[in-house]
Amino acid sequence: MKFEFCSLASGSKGNSQYIATNNFALLVDAGMSGKYIENALKKIDRSFEKIQALLVTHEHSDHINGVGVLMRRYKLPLYVNEKTWEGMKNKIGKIDVEKVHIIKNDECFKLGGIKIKPYQISHDANDPVGFVFEYKNKKISIATDLGHAPEQVIEKIKDTDLLFIESNHDIEMLKSGRYPYYLKRRVLSMEGHLSNDEAGRIAKEVVRHGRVKNILLAHLSRENNFPELAYETVKTVLKDSNIEVGEDVDLYMTYREDTTKLFDV
């Protein structure tokens, strides 16, 4: 039985992730246009007609821009917590509200045999969440758009097989970069975004305490990061803890406007 994952896009321009079993497929976030997401699925030889649900982590535009279009075009049900729904419902156009299903943080629900657990994270949104997906004793964990990862977050994701983790910025690039002071403070705050170093720390904890095989670095800043730096920073943090990339765990990048390969967990 397959349990698939692909990042269709990850970054400040838009975010969407694909998760599927043999007979069920869903999207986490739809921050790109409907056309982009349709074409991204074609790149990995998957059809949008197979998508049966849409989950949203939080109401920021780079996570919901395509939600209304896709709900109208494909009659998709939406799964979202109450505060996030309140923050997004006036931004996505007219949709069938009967398709909206309110979920609760830390309460598991099932879709197509996939056990899904939303967990609270720290970000400057109404009630942002990460997600853990479990199917046939395999787990996929999504942890992006969070300012920090305390022990309770590590606890949620540490026994995963695939970790999709934010590696947004290099701290020194951000501090010396072009962002205005208020925006630098926002990104660096406890409700902002994870740095490369923090992504490395979290990755280290997950590898130490779990069974993770694949780690994907996500949501890289265009202004304050670049893929080689993120990769090498996280790789170095892991190596300093005697964790070898390519032997103990595989490390991958995600892309702002392109798909990753299709992972079979």
Mean pLDDT throughout 232-249? 98
Q: What pLDDT, on a 0 to 100 scale, did the predictor assign at position 210?
A: 82
Strands 16-21 and 3-9: antiparallel
pLDDT over 90 percentage in the chain = 99
Q: Residue 62 carries which side chain, given as an amino acid letter?
A: D
Contact between 253 and 216 under an 8 Å Cβ cutoff? The reply is yes
pLDDT tens string 1-39: 899 999 999 999 999 999 999 999 999 999 999 999 999
Bridge-partner residues for 132, per DSSP? 117, 141
- In the prediction, which pLDDT does 67 show? 98
Q: Which residues neighbour 83 within 8 Å (Cβ) at sequence distance 6 or greater?
A: 126, 127
Confidence of residue 256 (pLDDT cuts 50, 70, 90): very high
Q: Please name each of the domains of the chain with its CATH number.
A: 3-264 (3.60.15.10)
CB 161, CB 140: distance < 8 Å: yes
Q: What is the pLDDT of residue 30?
A: 98
Per-residue pLDDT tens for 51-104? 999 999 999 999 999 999 999 999 999 999 999 999 999 999 999 999 999 999
- Reply yes or no on whether the pLDDT at 261 is more than 90: yes
This prediction has a pTM of: 0.97
**What's the rounded Cα separation, in Å, for the pair 179 and 9?**
23
- Whether the pLDDT of residue 243 is over 90: the answer is yes
Share the mean pLDDT of the chain: 97
